[in-house]
Homo-oligomer: A and B are copies of this chain.
Amino acid sequence: MGVVDVRQPLAGHEDQGQGLRSGVWRRDVLQEVAPDLPVVPGALTDYRQQASFDWKQLRVALEDPEILRVKMNLWRKLEADPVFAHPRVTPPMEEQKRRVAVQLRRFLDLNIIPQEVHNWSYKDKTRFMMAINAATSSWNKNLSVKFGLGVSLFTNALLSLGTDRHLSFYDAVWDNRFLFALGMTEVGHGSNTKQVRTTATYDPETQTFIINTPDFEAAKCWAGNLGKTCTHIMLFAQLITANDTCHGLHAFLVPIRDPETLTPYPGIKVGDIGEKAGLNGIDNGFAMFDNYRIPRENLLNRTGDVTPDGEYESCFQNPEQILGAALENLLAGRVAISQESTHDLCAAVTISVRYAAVRKQGGPRNAKEELSIIEYPLHQWRLFPYVAASCVFKVFIGDFTDQYLDLVEQSYKGAEMKDLTSVAAEVHAIVSAMKPLITWTCASALQESREACGGHGYLKASQLGTMRADHDATVTYEGDNNVLLQQTSNWIVRNWPYAKQGNTSAILDASPLGTLHCLINAAEKLKEQFTGTSIDDVLNPNFVKSSYEWLVCWLTQSLDNQLQKLKSSGLDRFTARGEVHAFYAKPLALVFGESNALSYFWEKIKTPGLSSEIKNIMERLYVLYGLWGIQRNLALFYRGGFASGPKMADLVQEACQAVCSSLKPEIVSVIDAIAHPDSVIKSILGRSDGKIYDHLYDAYMSQQGNMGRPAWWHEVSAKPQSKL
C-alpha cells in the first residue's frame, strides 16, 4: 500500500521523510505528531505507568505520520485563531449559521490548502484534502460539511463531470467568490435517484436550458449551503431535448444568488429548510425553479453534451475515464464520511475511557478507597470493544484510502488495467459496507459513551451530546446505510457461484484487492467445526480469522440458497432481494465489513519493523474486535453447524472478558495513541490531564451571570409572603 507524499506544504521537514517511514521513529518527529502528555498526579498518570508499550509508537503505527502531521498542523492553526473558537453556549440558530459562514471564509483566506496543492497529482492532492477534511470535521463538523459540499466535493465533481469550459468556476470557488451546493435529493426522493424529476429542457432559440420543478415533491431539498449562502448549485436534472426526448440525469451549474449581494435571482423559490437535530451551522435549503434559464454551457458535458441547435451527443470516448469519474463522484463522499466517523469514534472513547479511569464509584465493603469505574468488568465490556474498533478502523481507513485513490488516479490516467472494472466493483462494495459499519459503530459508541459518563456525560461540556446529534446525519446522507449494504451483499453473492464451483481464478479476478479471498475453498471451510477446548484456542488471531471466514462463507451460501429458493417460487428479483434483506443480506454485508477491517489491521500488524510490544498490543486489540463480533453472531455459528454444545459460547465469552481484563492496564495508553489534542476533543471529561473535577468546576463557575437571579425573576417569583 502506498504512502502519500504530503511533504511539500510542510517546509523544513523534507529531510525527515525517510525516518518517518522506517519502523523506528525519530524523537523530534514523534514529538511533533505525538506531543508529550501532561504529567500530573492522578488516575490517568497511574494507569499510564502500567502500560506495556510506548503510546507514541502505537500512534504512528496506527496512522501515517505524514497524515497525522497535516492534521496536527491544521489543528494548531485553528486553535490559534479566535474566529474558530467554540462558543460556550449554543448560539441561536441564525447565529450558528453566520459563524460557520464566516469561518469558511476565514478558512479559505488562511490558505490552509496552499496554491501548489492544486498542481499535485490527483492522489496526493486528494489525500491531503481528505486529511484536512477529517481534521476540520473533528474541530467543527459544520465547517467541514460547508467546506466539503461548497468547495472540495464540488470542485472534485466539477473536474470529473465538467470540461475545460467550466474551469472558471473552479477558480471562483477556491477564490471565495462562488459557493456551491449539490442538488441531487428532492423532497420526494432521496435514495431512489433515478426518480429525480427536476427537468432541464433545452431551448435552441435562446441556447439555454430551462429549469423547472414540476411540483413541491420534486423541489430540491436538504442541499447544504442552499438555504442562505450558496451562489450556485450543481443541479442534477433530467436533460430534455426536442420532442420531449429525455436523456437521463445530468449535472448543471445553476446560479442561485448574486455573489455580491446574496440576493436570490428571480424565478427561484429558495430558502432554508429549518432547524435540524444537529449540524445547525449548515444552511440546508430547498429550491423550486419556474422556467429558470441558464446558458447551454452550464451543462457539465463530460459524459454528454447538447449542440447549440439542440442535438444530444454522448461522449463515451474513454469508458475507463468515465468509470473513474463515476467512482470518484459516488465514493469520495463516503470515504470521507468513514474517515470523519473514525475520528468521532476515537473522540467518543477518548472521553469515556479517560472519564472511566478517573471517576471512582463504589467498591468492596470496607475498602479504603472507591474503585475507578474502569475496574468494573461490565464497564470494560461496554467500552473497550469500541476502543479496539477505533484502532481497527483507523488502520483500515488509512490504508484503504490509499488504495482507493490509487485506483481513481489510474483510471484518470486511462491506465490499461484489464481488471479496472473488477477493482471498481470491489471498491464500491467495500465502501458500501464500511460507511454503514463505521458510522453505526460510531453512533453506538457515542451513545454508550454518553451513558458510561453518567449525568456528567449529559452536559454539553462533555461534548458527547453535540457529537451524537451532528454525527447522526452520517448514517443517512451520501447513501442510506441499509440501502448501501444491499449493494455489498449483491456483489458478494454474485461471486458465490465461483466459490461453489471451486473456481479460484475467477474469484481472484473478481476481487483484485483480495477481499473475497475468504470465499476460496468455501466448500472446505464450511465443513469446519469448532474444536477448541480451552480459552487459548479462542484468544488468538487465527481463531478470529478462520471464524470470520466461515461466517462470510456461510452467510453468502445461505443468502444464495434463499435467493434461489425465492426465485424458483416465482418471485421477481426485486421482491426476492427485499425478502432476504433483513436476515441474510444485511448481516452478510456487515460481517464482510468487519472481516475486511480485520484483514487490513492484520496486514498492518505484520509491518516489518514494528516492535514486539506494539505487535502484542495490536494483536490483543485485533482479538477483542474480532471476538466482539463473533460473540454478537454466535447464533449463526450454531445455526450453520460450526458449533454445537455449550463449548464455543462458553469459551468466546470467557475470552471476551479475559482480553478486556488484559487490556485494562493498557487502555489509557491506547487512548493516548488515538486521541486528538484536548482543544479538538473539547470535553471537560476527556482531557489528557484527567482533572475532570477542576474542569467541571471551571465550567460551572465561568458562566456569565450564572449565580445571580435570572433576568425574568419577577415573572415567576412568589407574591409577597411572610418569609420562612
Tell me if A718 and B271 are in contact (CB < 8 A): no
Q: Write the nearest CB–CB distance from A641 to chain B, whole angstroms.
A: 7
Tell me if B105 and A716 are in contact (CB < 8 A): yes
Cβ of A270: which chain B residues have Cβ within 8 Å of it? 707
Q: Write the nearest CB–CB distance from A519 to chain B, whole angstroms.
A: 21
Tell me if A710 and B653 are in contact (CB < 8 A): no
Q: Of A336-344, A421-429, A452-460, which stretch is located at the interface?
A: A452-460
Cβ of A105: which chain B residues have Cβ within 8 Å of it? 715-716
Tell me if B93 and A709 are in contact (CB < 8 A): no
Cβ of A719: which chain B residues have Cβ within 8 Å of it? 177, 260
Q: Of A38-46, A244-252, A476-484, which stretch is located at the interface?
A: A476-484
Q: Scan residues 611-663 of chain A and give those whose CB is less than 8 A from a CB of chain B.
A: 634-636, 638-641, 643-646, 649-650, 653, 656-657
Check A213 for interface membership: any CB of B closer than 8 A: no
A279–B606 CA distance with the chains assembled, in angstroms: 49
Check A464 for interface membership: any CB of B closer than 8 A: yes
Among candidates B377, B473, B649, residue contacting A458 with C-beta atoms closer than 8 Å: B473
Closest to A103 in B: B716
The answer to whether residues A649 and B638 also contact, given A188-B693, A455-B477, A706-B272 and a CB cut-off of 8 A, is yes
The answer to whether residues A192 and B262 also contact, given A228-B709, A472-B450 and a CB cut-off of 8 A, is no
Among candidates B259, B271, B464, residue contacting A700 with C-beta atoms closer than 8 Å: B271
Cβ of A502: which chain B residues have Cβ within 8 Å of it? none
Cβ of A363: which chain B residues have Cβ within 8 Å of it? 574
Closest to A269 in B: B707
Check A56 for interface membership: any CB of B closer than 8 A: no
Q: Of A69-77, A201-209, A577-585, A668-676, which stretch is located at the interface?
A: A577-585
Among candidates B98, B104, B458, residue contacting A276 with C-beta atoms closer than 8 Å: B458
Cβ of A88: which chain B residues have Cβ within 8 Å of it? 274
Closest to A723 in B: B258
Tell me if A271 and B639 are in contact (CB < 8 A): no
Cβ of A263: which chain B residues have Cβ within 8 Å of it? 708-709
Tell me if A262 and B638 are in contact (CB < 8 A): no
Tell me if B459 and A276 are in contact (CB < 8 A): yes
A532–B482 CA distance with the chains assembled, in angstroms: 32
Cβ of A656: which chain B residues have Cβ within 8 Å of it? 583
Check A185 for interface membership: any CB of B closer than 8 A: yes
From A88, A575, A643, A706, residue with most partner B Cβ within 10 Å: A706
Tell me if B195 and A286 are in contact (CB < 8 A): no
Tell me if B264 and A101 are in contact (CB < 8 A): no
Q: Interface readout for A585-628 with B: 1 if CB under 8 Å, 0 if not?
A: 01000000000000000000000000000000000000000000
Tell me if A716 and B262 are in contact (CB < 8 A): yes
The answer to whether residues A710 and B276 also contact, given A176-B718, A361-B191 and a CB cut-off of 8 A, is no
A178–B716 CA distance with the chains assembled, in angstroms: 10
Check A14 for interface membership: any CB of B closer than 8 A: no
Tell me if A721 and B458 are in contact (CB < 8 A): no
Q: Scan residues 461-492 of chain A and give those whose CB is less than 8 A from a CB of chain B.
A: 461-462, 464-466, 468-469, 472-473, 475-477, 480-482
Q: Interface readout for A293-313 with B: 1 if CB under 8 Å, 0 if not?
A: 000000000000000000000
Tell me if B583 and A653 are in contact (CB < 8 A): yes
Among candidates B185, B261, B454, B475, residue contacting A480 with C-beta atoms closer than 8 Å: B454
Cβ of A262: which chain B residues have Cβ within 8 Å of it? 709-710, 713, 716-717
Q: Scan residues 698-712 of chain A and give those whose CB is less than 8 A from a CB of chain B.
A: 699-701, 703, 706-712
A578–B660 CA distance with the chains assembled, in angstroms: 13
Tell me if A277 and B710 are in contact (CB < 8 A): no
Cβ of A120: which chain B residues have Cβ within 8 Å of it? none
Count of residues in A whose CB is under 8 Å from the partner chain: 139
Cβ of A697: which chain B residues have Cβ within 8 Å of it? 216
Cβ of A582: which chain B residues have Cβ within 8 Å of it? 377-378, 381-382, 657
Tell me if B377 and A716 are in contact (CB < 8 A): no
Cβ of A653: which chain B residues have Cβ within 8 Å of it? 583
Tell me if A578 and B377 are in contact (CB < 8 A): yes
Cβ of A460: which chain B residues have Cβ within 8 Å of it? 274-277
A693–B286 CA distance with the chains assembled, in angstroms: 13
Cβ of A275: which chain B residues have Cβ within 8 Å of it? 89-90, 459-461
Tell me if A717 and B260 are in contact (CB < 8 A): yes
Q: Scan residues 433-450 of chain A and give those whose CB is less than 8 A from a CB of chain B.
A: 443, 447, 450
Cβ of A177: which chain B residues have Cβ within 8 Å of it? 718-719, 721
A706–B272 CA distance with the chains assembled, in angstroms: 6
Check A696 for interface membership: any CB of B closer than 8 A: yes
Among candidates B274, B696, B712, residue contacting A98 with C-beta atoms closer than 8 Å: B712
Q: Scan residues 174-220 of chain A and give those whose CB is less than 8 A from a CB of chain B.
A: 176-178, 185, 187-192, 195, 216-217
Cβ of A687: which chain B residues have Cβ within 8 Å of it? none
Check A509 for interface membership: any CB of B closer than 8 A: no
Check A278 for interface membership: any CB of B closer than 8 A: yes
Q: Interface readout for A51-64 with B: 1 if CB under 8 Å, 0 if not?
A: 00000000000000
Check A257 for interface membership: any CB of B closer than 8 A: yes
Check A37 for interface membership: any CB of B closer than 8 A: no
Check A570 for interface membership: any CB of B closer than 8 A: no
Cβ of A716: which chain B residues have Cβ within 8 Å of it? 98, 101-102, 104-105, 229, 262
- Known A-B contacts: A102-B715, A229-B716, A260-B718. Give 17 more (CB < 8 A): A101-B712, A105-B715, A105-B716, A216-B693, A228-B709, A228-B710, A258-B723, A260-B719, A274-B459, A275-B460, A278-B458, A451-B476, A454-B476, A458-B473, A634-B639, A639-B649, A641-B645
List the 10 closest pairs (A to B, CB-CB), nearest first.
Answer: A277-B465, A634-B635, A275-B460, A638-B638, A639-B649, A259-B718, A262-B713, A271-B707, A378-B581, A364-B574
Point out residues on A near B: beta carbons under 8 Å. 88-94, 97-98, 101-102, 104-105, 172, 176-178, 185, 187-192, 195, 216-217, 221-222, 228-229, 231, 255, 257-264, 269-278, 286, 360-365, 370, 375-378, 381-382, 443, 447, 450-451, 454-455, 457-462, 464-466, 468-469, 472-473, 475-477, 480-482, 572, 574-575, 578-579, 581-583, 586, 634-636, 638-641, 643-646, 649-650, 653, 656-657, 693, 696-697, 699-701, 703, 706-713, 715-721, 723-724
Complex A-B: 7 CB contacts under 8 Å: A192-B361, A277-B459, A277-B465, A365-B574, A579-B657, A641-B646, A644-B644
